């Protein structure tokens, strides 16, 4: 291990320990004081090296917020006394759905279904860990139930591809991908109840969504609430209705992991295999864009692909969906960025007018995204670029600290002293820990 890696490892564990809250880990203090769904998956990876029981507790706490219909919420509000976040549990009012647990309180939408692949990854680290094996058996049906929710409530055309109706579900909240759909929402004075944002008091407003964007987020939240967060009417009415490439790729990856785990632990996987066959076939026909040489998301309301070069279009590599030729095209995209002076991997097309190198999801680099792309590149044999994305991740974290996201343009980054968004960020620490251990 080189000295830069050694010097990153112990502060990374410190970040995770600092953010541990007696059973789960917050992404960062101040900005995100609760448990976030897909963050927790990545966080479990980092904990497992030093404190395997924390990894198990992390996932258990998350699933303690699962709804009867299977939905795994994007935020679990373990504390009802913490009032510094908007929208808090009272604004979500998830109890409009009778299957939402009363405790812990939760939001009413979801996030990327990473838990299946995280569980397999942990099991592969240490197949002899009996506590983990027992845990895997107990959580397996809950993850399946969650996937079933996505197919049952979010796939009206029965294509094997599910939709989201809120950008926050995508995990890439402020991506330009959502602009056109969000612009369909016209919020007039008095349409929304009064609300007070908290994020812009804590983080630099230039790195956060604008007021118009935020109003539309609130509008979509209230639309979900009107239909108990699972009603069929959501798909009929929502101006924002997108089949996201990254979320569907992650679901496919997690399905495959559940199939692998089920085979080893003698658990039934018939239903999951059926889902996955259909999902993979539909994914390739509906999301591949040959002109871009990347996958794209699909705007169900507008009836067309969202033809942009965006980081979600690279994640199918991780899910092993593309053919070797398609993977080669995706690799070309990354290679061009690399030779043009960017850290891998900017979250949006650097040549687009919507690119914004410091506003979240409109350009910056995210270490947990790099973690997935790294594994995808390795699978397809692009070892040099895999090594590059790993080296870039170490370099930015070493230079700027454990931030939420980072400046992608090297010439601009040279004049900066820190990253963007929240500091001491858990999944950044976790991704670094795991990349250090991964040869
Ligand atoms: C932001 C990100 C989302 C993440 C959350 C907590 O909202 O867009 O992906 O889960 O922060 O880190």
- Residue 345 phi/psi, 5-degree rounding, is -125, 125
The whole-angstrom separation of Cα 246 and Cα 58 is 23
User: Would you write out the chain's pLDDT as a tens digit for each of its 439 residues?
Assistant: 677 777 999 999 999 999 999 999 999 998 899 999 999 999 999 999 999 999 999 999 999 999 999 999 999 999 999 988 999 999 999 999 999 999 999 999 999 999 999 999 999 999 999 999 999 999 999 999 999 999 999 999 999 999 999 999 999 999 999 999 999 999 988 899 999 988 888 778 877 778 888 999 999 999 999 999 999 999 999 999 999 999 999 999 999 999 999 999 999 999 999 999 999 999 999 999 999 999 999 999 999 999 999 999 999 999 999 999 999 999 999 999 999 999 999 999 999 999 999 998 999 999 999 999 999 999 999 999 999 999 999 999 999 999 999 999 999 999 999 999 999 999 999 999 999 998 7
Q: Which residue has the tokens 């397809």?
A: 380
Sequence-distant (≥ 6) Cβ neighbours of residue 394 within 8 angstroms = 4, 5, 8, 432, 435, 436
Cα–Cα nearest to 49, from 21, 3, 12? 12
Of ligand 1's atoms, which has the minimum distance to the CA of residue 74?
A: 10
**Residue 1 confidence (pLDDT):** 66
DSSP string, 96-142: GSTTS-SSSEE-SS-----HHHHHHHHHHH-TT-HHHHHHHHHHHHH
The whole-angstrom separation of Cα 149 and Cα 61 is 19
From the centroid of its chain, how far is CA 236?
25
Length of the chain: 439
The DSSP 8-state label assigned to residue 203 in this structure reads: S
Q: With 0-12 CB in 10 A as exposed, 13-18 as middle and 19+ as buried, what is 415?
A: exposed
∠ CA 285-168-25 to the nearest 5 degrees?
115
Catalytic-residue membership of 173: yes
**Residue 239 confidence (pLDDT):** 98
The whole-angstrom separation of Cα 112 and Cα 169 is 7
* Residue to mutate (ligand 1; options 29, 34, 36; most atoms within 8 A of CB): 36
**Residue 439 confidence (pLDDT):** 73
Label residues 129-142 b or e (16+ Cβ within 10 Å = b): beebeebbeebbeb
Q: Taking CB atoms and a 6 Å cutoff, what residues make up the pocket around ligand 1? A: 27, 32, 36, 38-39, 171, 173
Of ligand 1's atoms, which has the minimum distance to the CA of residue 37?
A: 10
Nearest CA to ligand 1 atom 3: 171
Q: 171 C-alpha to center of ligand 1: Å?
A: 6
**Residue 386 confidence (pLDDT):** 98
The whole-angstrom separation of Cα 232 and Cα 35 is 28
Helix axes 115-125, 130-153, angle to 10 degrees: 160
Strands (E), 124-236: none
The whole-angstrom separation of Cα 215 and Cα 86 is 12
CB neighbours (10 Å) of residue 202?
17
* Residue to mutate (ligand 1; options 15, 35, 39, 75; most atoms within 8 A of CB): 39
Pair type for strands 297-299 and 242-243? antiparallel
C-alpha distances out from residue 73 to 77, 89, 156, 175, 297, Å: 10, 11, 20, 21, 22
Q: 381 C-alpha to center of ligand 1: Å?
A: 30
Q: Let me know: does 173 contact 360? Beta carbons within 8 Å.
A: yes
**Residue 378 confidence (pLDDT):** 98
Q: Which tokens go with 238?
A: 């929502």
Of ligand 1's atoms, which has the minimum distance to the CA of residue 170?
A: 9
The whole-angstrom separation of Cα 189 and Cα 282 is 41
Point out the catalytic residue in the list 199, 245, 404, 423: 404
Cα–Cα nearest to 247, from 162, 367, 145? 162
Q: Let me know: does 109 contact 36? Beta carbons within 8 Å.
A: no
Nearest CA to ligand 1 atom 9: 171
Q: 408 C-alpha to center of ligand 1: Å?
A: 18
Q: Let me know: does 349 contact 309? Beta carbons within 8 Å.
A: yes
Q: Which residue has the tokens 């959502």?
A: 178
From the centroid of its chain, how far is CA 59?
15
C-alpha distances out from residue 282 to 154, 249, 253, 350, Å: 15, 11, 15, 29
Sequence-distant (≥ 6) Cβ neighbours of residue 12 within 8 angstroms = 46, 402, 429, 430, 432, 433, 436
The DSSP 8-state label assigned to residue 239 in this structure reads: S
Q: What SS3 state is found at 248?
A: helix
* Residue to mutate (ligand 1; options 27, 31, 42, 429; most atoms within 8 A of CB): 27
Of ligand 1's atoms, which has the minimum distance to the CA of residue 27?
A: 12
Sequence-distant (≥ 6) Cβ neighbours of residue 353 within 8 angstroms = none
Q: Let me know: does 12 contact 429? Beta carbons within 8 Å.
A: yes
Point out the catalytic residue in the list 30, 50, 129, 173: 173
Q: 37 C-alpha to center of ligand 1: Å?
A: 9
Catalytic-residue membership of 271: no
Of ligand 1's atoms, which has the minimum distance to the CA of residue 422?
A: 12
pTM for the full predicted model: 0.97
State the greatest distance between any 2 C-alpha atoms of the chain, in Å, as a whole number: 60
């Amino acid at each position: 291990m080189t000295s830069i890696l050694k010097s990153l490892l112990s502060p990374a564990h410190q970040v995770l320990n600092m953010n541990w809250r007696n059973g789960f880990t917050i992404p960062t203090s101040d900005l995100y004081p609760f448990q976030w769904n897909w963050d927790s998956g990545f966080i479990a990876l980092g904990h497992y090296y030093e404190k395997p029981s924390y990894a198990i507790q992390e996932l258990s706490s998350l699933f303690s917020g699962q709804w009867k219909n299977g939905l795994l919420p994007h935020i679990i509000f373990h504390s009802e006394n913490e009032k510094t976040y908007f929208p808090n549990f009272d604004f979500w009012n998830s109890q409009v759905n009778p299957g939402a647990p009363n405790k812990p309180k939760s939001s009413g939408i979801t996030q990327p279904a990473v838990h299946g692949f995280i569980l397999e990854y942990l099991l592969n680290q240490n197949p002899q860990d009996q506590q983990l094996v027992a845990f895997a058996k107990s959580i397996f049906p809950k993850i399946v139930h969650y996937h079933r929710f996505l197919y049952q409530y979010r796939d009206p055309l029965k294509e094997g591809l599910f939709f989201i109706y809120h950008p926050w579900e995508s995990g890439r909240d402020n991506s330009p991908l959502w602009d056109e759909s969000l612009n369909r929402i016209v919020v007039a004075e008095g349409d929304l109840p009064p609300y007070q944002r908290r994020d812009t008091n804590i983080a630099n407003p230039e790195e956060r969504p604008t007021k118009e964007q935020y109003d539309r987020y609130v509008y979509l939240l209230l639309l979900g609430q009107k239909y108990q967060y699972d009603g069929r009417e959501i798909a009929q009415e929502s101006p924002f209705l997108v089949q996201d490439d990254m979320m569907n790729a992650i679901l496919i990856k997690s399905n495959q992991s559940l199939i692998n785990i089920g085979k080893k632990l003698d658990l039934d996987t018939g239903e999951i295999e059926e889902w996955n066959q259909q999902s993979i076939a539909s994914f390739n026909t509906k999301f591949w864009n040959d002109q871009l040489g990347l996958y794209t998301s699909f705007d169900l309301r507008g009836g067309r692909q969202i033809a942009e070069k965006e980081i979600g279009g690279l994640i199918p590599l991780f899910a092993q969906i593309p053919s070797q030729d398609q993977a080669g095209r995706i690799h070309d995209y990354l290679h061009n960025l690399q030779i043009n002076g960017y850290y891998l991997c900017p979250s949006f097309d650097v040549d687009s007018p919507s690119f914004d190198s410091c506003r979240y999801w409109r350009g910056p680099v995210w270490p947990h995204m790099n973690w997935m792309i790294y594994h995808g590149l390795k699978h397809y044999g692009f070892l040099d670029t895999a090594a590059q994305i790993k080296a870039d991740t170490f370099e930015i974290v070493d230079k700027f600290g454990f931030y939420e996201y980072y400046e992608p343009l090297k010439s601009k980054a040279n004049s900066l002293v820190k990253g963007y968004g929240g500091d001491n960020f858990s999944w950044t620490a976790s991704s670094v820990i795991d990349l250090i251990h991964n040869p």
